[in-house]
Amino acid sequence: MKYLKLYWKFITNCIRRETLYRFHFVVNMFTVVFGYLANVLFYHFIYSYGIDNISGWNVYEVYVLLATIWIVDSIFGGLFFFNLIQIPTQVKKYQLDGLLVKPINHVFILTMRQFNFGIFSGVFFGIGFLIYAVVKGGVEIRNIDVFNYIVLVCCSVVLLFSILFIMVAFSLRFVRIQGLIQMFWTLMEPGKRLHSIYPLALKNVFTFIVPAIVIYNFPSEILIRNHFFDYLGLGTTFLISIIMASIFLAISICYFKKSLKYYYN
């Protein structure tokens, strides 16, 4: 309860900040919207030229994937991204010491102080687009599918958080790590494509080593139940997402705590 109250105070402070800079909020929101709409239009134009499917995916199944990307990135961007990328700057400017001496969990204070409403608003646009894709595509959705989808989206956000947290934790040892942060979205990009276009070896790399496919494709597969790997079914896909999220989260926290020892020295 103490942390919930504190997090609510963080959010209310962010609300006050956003109301002071309304134009910045609106720009953030529409930047997110237009960025993802560009991807939607790209695939719309491809399918409108007589292409029935791409590697077995019809246009509305692709839209489900795009909506999932929109939702996952908006949640992660609104809740965690801007907190995490500030850590290297805080290290370089010696601002981290003031946060670490506070009587509160270090991971919590470093990763959850800022809430970006402009980016997070993309969740609502993504959900609206997802509903459109499901209805127009005639995808039959059961209650358990909705539950599974929400769980896998949460796992995807945890995976994004964990991977970037590991990267920014390097700043506690090496200070300057701008290249790693730029590499983060590059590594995630393959997961934003239809996984069936990749050869099996590359699928395994982006599933079990750099889990970009797990982050974006797996939640979509839970809904459309159509394009699973040859050796992965519904239950296995669900289980892999939970296991990968748990492993990466544990690794990120352990690595951060270990890196703190180098920072103190």
In the block, tokens 């993504």 appear at: 126
The SS3 of residue 112 is: coil
**Beta strand extents in the chain (DSSP E only):** none
From residue 43, how far is each of 61, 166, 194, 212, 224 by CA, in Å?
A: 11, 33, 12, 20, 18
Q: Is residue 216 very low, low, confident or very high in pLDDT (cuts 50, 70, 90)?
A: very high
Q: With both helix axes pointing from N to C terminus, report the angle between 143-169 and 234-264 in degrees, rounded to the nearest 10.
A: 20
From residue 31, how far is each of 5, 24, 128, 265 by CA, in Å?
A: 31, 10, 17, 42
| CA separation for the pair 84, 251 (Å, rounded) | 16
pLDDT tens, position by position, 238-265: 899 999 999 999 999 999 988 888 776 6
Q: Is residue 155 very low, low, confident or very high in pLDDT (cuts 50, 70, 90)?
A: very high
CB atoms within 10 A of CB 181: 18
From residue 258, how far is each of 96, 127, 140, 166 by CA, in Å?
A: 16, 38, 47, 11
Say what the alpha-carbon torsion angle 177, 178, 182, 183 is, to the nearest 10 degrees. Answer: -20
- DSSP category for residue 86: T
57 bridge partner residues: 54
Report pLDDT for 250.
96
Report pLDDT for 230.
55
Q: With both helix axes pointing from N to C terminus, report the angle between 59-76 and 22-48 in degrees, rounded to the nearest 10.
A: 160
Q: With both helix axes pointing from N to C terminus, report the angle between 143-169 and 178-188 in degrees, rounded to the nearest 10.
A: 160
| CA separation for the pair 229, 118 (Å, rounded) | 36
The SS3 of residue 41 is: helix
Report pLDDT for 71.
96
Average pLDDT for 33-56: 85
In the block, tokens 């992965």 appear at: 232
The SS3 of residue 54 is: strand
| CA separation for the pair 8, 20 (Å, rounded) | 19
What is the pTM for the complete model shown? 0.91
Report pLDDT for 89.
83
| Average predicted confidence (pLDDT) for the chain | 86
In one letter, which amino acid is 202? L
Tokens of 159: 């995976």
